[in-house]
């Protein structure tokens, strides 16, 4: 498949099992203020992005949907409001512990899901692709657990293509977000956040990898001027 989310700056950002451990410990630490910081740093836009993600599944009521790397369960709650049946999976006990009213939650590594083949009618994943140590293993697992005809919607940060927006976005992400994070939560974690964008493959490579994993109609769209991307696909 050939897609990798190895960091562009080896040595500065962790990879492999040290990344898995670092990410799990970091989310355990920031879990109690995660929702608050999210709302503030996105000016509440994250709610709208999640609504768009749930709608993009285009699944009928009662479908069973895995929310992978569910964190504090925001997408699970959105899926539930859309009368879908979510099950959230996350590696961080702290994030799962901070999830309120998110329904059924399972502590698991999303590259090794405790679910049979074709178990789900759909799957979502919000802002986690860059946090995974092995993106290719995740996509293979996604294809394994989603039934043929099932739908996926993957939400992730992105970099705007417009040069002016890119500069403003960089300034906000590199300076303001770490400042908000340090004031309200954990400075280290919110300095890592902007740097973790370096783990993301370029858009065409990411869409190509999703298509090749078993979602041949994979399509990407951007939201809010390109600061967020949504990849949608159907399991072949
Ligand atoms: C930025 S948070 C996103 C949480 C939630 N999806 C949201 O939209 O707010 C990333 C989440 O990915 C989880 N995560 C990272 N690596 C994981 C893995 N290998 N397996 C399961 N969860 C993982 C973290 O614990 C964290 O909760």
Place of tokens 């410990």: 25
For residue 56, report the distance from its CA to the centre of ligand 1, in Å: 20
For residue range 39-85, list pLDDT tens digits in order.
999 999 999 999 999 999 999 999 999 999 999 999 999 999 999 99
Chain centroid to CA 128: how far? 3
DSSP assignment letter at 8: S
Q: Strand, coil or helix: what is 161?
A: coil
Mutate-to-test residue for ligand 1 from 53, 88, 90, highest number of ligand atoms within 8 A of CB: 90
Pairing of strands 120-126, 104-107: unpaired
16-20, 89-93, 202-206: which has the minimum mean pLDDT?
Answer: 16-20
Q: At what angle do helices 203-214 and 135-145 cross, to 10 degrees?
A: 40
51's tokens: 């609504």
User: Which helix (H) or strand (E) is 106 found in, with range?
Assistant: strand 104-107
Q: Residue 5 above 70 pLDDT?
A: no
Residues 6+ apart with CB under 8 A from 170: 159
Pairing of strands 120-126, 64-68: parallel
For residue range 100-143, list pLDDT tens digits in order.
888 899 999 999 999 999 999 999 999 999 999 999 999 999 99
Q: State the closest ligand 1 atom to the C-alpha of 71, by its place in the atom list counted from 1.
A: 27
Residues 215, 152: Cα–Cα separation, whole Å: 8
Give ligand 1 pocket residues (Cβ under 6 A).
Answer: 20, 23, 27, 69-71, 74-75, 90-92, 95, 109-111, 126-128, 131-132
Residues 138, 140: Cα–Cα separation, whole Å: 5
For residue range 149-192, list pLDDT tens digits in order.
999 999 999 999 999 999 999 999 888 989 999 999 998 899 98
Q: Hey, which residues does 106 pair with through a beta bridge? A: 89
For residue 24, report the distance from its CA to the centre of ligand 1, in Å: 8
Q: Residue 9 above 60 pLDDT?
A: no
What pLDDT is attached to residue 193? 86
Write down the pTM of the prediction. 0.94
């Amino acid at each position: 498949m050939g897609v990798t989310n190895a960091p562009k700056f080896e040595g500065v950002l962790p990879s492999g099992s040290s990344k898995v451990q670092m990410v799990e410990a970091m989310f355990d630490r920031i879990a109690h203020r995660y929702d608050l910081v999210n709302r503030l740093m996105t000016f509440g836009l994250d709610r709208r992005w999640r609504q768009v993600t749930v709608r993009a599944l285009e699944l009928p009521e009662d479908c069973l949907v895995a929310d992978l790397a569910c964190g504090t369960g925001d997408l699970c709650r959105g899926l539930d409001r859309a009368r879908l049946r979510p099950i959230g999976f996350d590696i961080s006990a702290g994030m799962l512990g901070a999830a309120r009213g998110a329904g059924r939650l399972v502590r698991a590594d999303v590259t090794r899901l405790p679910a049979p083949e074709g178990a789900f009618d759909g799957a979502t994943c919000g802002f986690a692709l860059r946090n995974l140590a092995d993106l290719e293993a995740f996509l293979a697992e996604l294809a394994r657990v989603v039934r043929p005809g099932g739908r996926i919607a993957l939400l992730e940060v992105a970099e705007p293509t417009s040069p002016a927006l890119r500069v403003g976005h960089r300034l906000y992400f590199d300076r303001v977000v770490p400042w908000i994070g340090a004031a309200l939560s954990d400075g280290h974690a919110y300095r890592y956040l902007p740097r973790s964008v370096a783990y993301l493959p370029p858009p065409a490579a990411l869409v190509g990898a999703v298509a090749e994993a078993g979602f041949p109609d994979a399509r990407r769209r951007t939201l809010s001027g390109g600061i967020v991307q949504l990849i949608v696909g159907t399991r072949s």
